[in-house]
Amino acid sequence: MSPPATDLLSSSHLLMVGAGGIGCELLKTLVIAKATRIHIIDLDTIDVSNLNRQFLFRNKHVGMSKAIVAREAALAFLPPARRDQCSITAHHANIKQPEFGVEFFKQFDVVLNGLDNVDARRHVNRLCLAARVPLVESGTTGLVGQVTCHVRGVSACYECKPKPTAKAYPVCTLRNTPDKPIHTIVWAKDMLFKQLFGGDGVVTDLAEAENNNNNTNNEDSNPQEEQTNADDVAAKFFKPEEGEQPYDFLVRVFRRVFVDDIVKVNGMDDLWEKQGRRRPVTLPVDRYKSNDAVKKTASANDAKEGESSPDNEVLGLSASAAAALGYDDDHAVSFGCKSSNADAKEKCATAPPPDHDAHVFLASGVRLLRRKLALASSRGSDDGVAFDKDDALATEFVTAASNLRSRCYGIPRQSVFNAKGMAGNIVHAVATTNAIVAGLIVAEARKVLRYVAAAEGSDERAAVASKLRDTYVVPFPQCPGSKYCIQPTSPEEAHAGCYVCGGGAGGITLSLDTNVWTLGELASFLKKKLSMHLPLLETDEAGQLYEEGDDLDEDEVERYETLAKKRLAELPGDGIVDGTTVNLQDLSQDFNVKVVVRHVADLDEEEYPELCIWDVEGGIQPVANAPAQEEAEKNDGNGASAAGDDDDDLVMIDEDIEVLTENVQAPPAKKARRV
């Protein structure tokens, strides 16, 4: 790095958001490059699963703040003389806390993002726009990564371009007609696990199926009262009866979800008239209900003798039930067995006994139930057990339940490793990719700092702006003798219709049933959809209808809570009905947007799982999947771009890397440039 670039880094004030996989590599690179004024913000603590790629952390750091430990580890790289000159401030905090507002951001010359979720990225993007501070964004997935540069007035903001959104699955598909592994995994995690092991009052869509089967048609009855009673009946079924043993309870649940419910669904002939749709089959519950080995494993406490804990019972019920049963191969379908005999191991991995899933379902389920009861006893309240991808029992139960349901519907079963990835939305990270991306962030940051240092309107600033690049680690078959490289492209221009940086020019239309949706449901939906932190909702006719924040008066809180329960059409000012414009603000993000509501009744839940239609003018709405990579532009014989060489462009080639690139954002082919 040239001396001028080093001088800029050492004299500039930098904000790093995120101290995880990319953040560790980035902080190390910044310190080595002689950056001296750095703030780091990260809410997360160190987990054992981080240690394989977040190299600033060690076993002794597990449970400690990522930001604080990263600071200490990075400073340790430096000799004492330089250590005294390097100021690194660590914040173990949430970037959305009020102290990290627009005024806080204004003190920095550039913000460097190493976050792992779109919601937080949008929040930082809006603060950078409001504070007029450039943002260098980044992300990796496996061996694919990208670094993008966002400078107000020069390039697009982070939200100008479509981003992948979480896939929503219709409840009726999950409950009645699953046909993919992800369907059965979501059913096992979000319906069955939550219903069995959630806290008091939890009623999922699985229990609502019980409601529908038990409701009666009585013209004189109160529908709301009937629904409440039905909820109580449904919730009661998924709790052990008085005196019922945990193992017997799990057998009863097994019979309900893998036998009785399957019989009911089979009776819905209209579901199976579709050509090629296979009717589900029931499972033989009687062969599993009296297995002594499973009962023994389910009842065991694996806490080590003499091990101290606030709750030794809970500690002992955290161990793997599958391993205790001898099913210790997490990469084999349906809980395979590791064996010293190669033939036996291969046979088990390729065609494991179907009973393995049932055994693990019962054993892990009993242990989870016992843990839930032990926690409720020690806490004095039943808050339940939440799903955690790093909880062996939770992932085993979800995998087993999913595989059993897959057997019913003829869907391919999964290994614990694969199911854990899908249930936990895990993006497998590679340390090398993080290191490459961190280096690219610093390379781009030094250009941004040159831009900031140049006089506004000067030729120098314009020249530096032309050097800014978005850089992608992508498949590149045109590179002679290789498949992969780093591909720089010119940043996208700002989208005139962007509802974030376009001055509200982009219009949003939301179509829904205004006679069904409540104000609270609308506010919750818009808050999540638009990644707002503290939304304020108003209409011209009724004024302010909804607001969130810690500084509200008691009477304001009471008013908003009352209005939140009302149907949209019943709100003051003639309600929110067809054609009403809703004005949304988030003062913490300096964000304003208008949403036009259209009334549409009877939306098909299969086609619209969220029971609404979200339409953004100009086509900048979030998309389910990023577009596939287009063919890169043709190059001349020596591998150089027809556009000519550029000193700031970089290509790195690794002929041994192989990577899947489904659903990975690709650079615009028409702007591809390489040397």
Q: Are 660 and 141 in contact (CB under 8 A)?
A: no
Confirm or deny that 348 is annotated as ligand binding.
no
Q: For residue 214, give the H/E element and its range.
A: helix 205-214
Confirm or deny that 37 is annotated as ligand binding.
no
| CA 620 to chain CA centroid, nearest Å | 21
Catalytic residue among 24, 86, 128, 172: 172
Question: What is the maximum span of the chain, computed from C-alpha positions, in angstroms?
Answer: 84
Q: What is the DSSP string of 67-94?
A: HHHHHHHHHHTS-HHHHHH-EEEEE-S-
Amino acid making up residue 629: Q
What backbone torsions phi and psi does residue 529 show, to the nearest 5 degrees?
-65, -40
Confirm or deny that 507 is annotated as ligand binding.
no
List beta partners, residue 37: 13, 87
Confirm or deny that 269 is annotated as ligand binding.
no
Other CB atoms within a 10 A radius of the CB of residue 167 amount to: 10
Closest CA to 94 of 54, 151, 43: 43
Q: How far apart are the first and last CA of the chain?
A: 19
Confirm or deny that 592 is annotated as ligand binding.
no
Q: For residue 564, give the H/E element and its range.
A: helix 554-564
Q: Are 404 and 188 in contact (CB under 8 A)?
A: no
| 86 in active site | no
Confirm or deny that 66 is annotated as ligand binding.
yes
Confirm or deny that 19 is annotated as ligand binding.
yes
Confirm or deny that 102 is annotated as ligand binding.
no
Q: For residue 231, give the H/E element and its range.
A: helix 223-237
Stated length of the chain = 675
CA–CA distance, 597 with 85 (Å, rounded to integer): 56
Confirm or deny that 121 is annotated as ligand binding.
yes
Confirm or deny that 501 is annotated as ligand binding.
yes
Confirm or deny that 23 is annotated as ligand binding.
yes
Confirm or deny that 42 is annotated as ligand binding.
yes
Q: Record the tokens describing residue 442, joined without a space.
A: 């610093």
Closest CA to 361 of 458, 244, 482, 251: 251
Confirm or deny that 160 is annotated as ligand binding.
yes
CA–CA distance, 296 with 301 (Å, rounded to integer): 10
CA–CA distance, 598 with 612 (Å, rounded to integer): 10
Backbone Cα Rg of the chain: 28
Confirm or deny that 579 is annotated as ligand binding.
no
Bind-site residues for Zn(2+): 157, 160, 498, 501
Bind-site residues for ATP: 18-23, 42, 50-53, 66, 116-121
* Residues with a known catalytic role: 172
Bind-site residues: 18-23, 42, 50-53, 66, 116-121, 157, 160, 498, 501
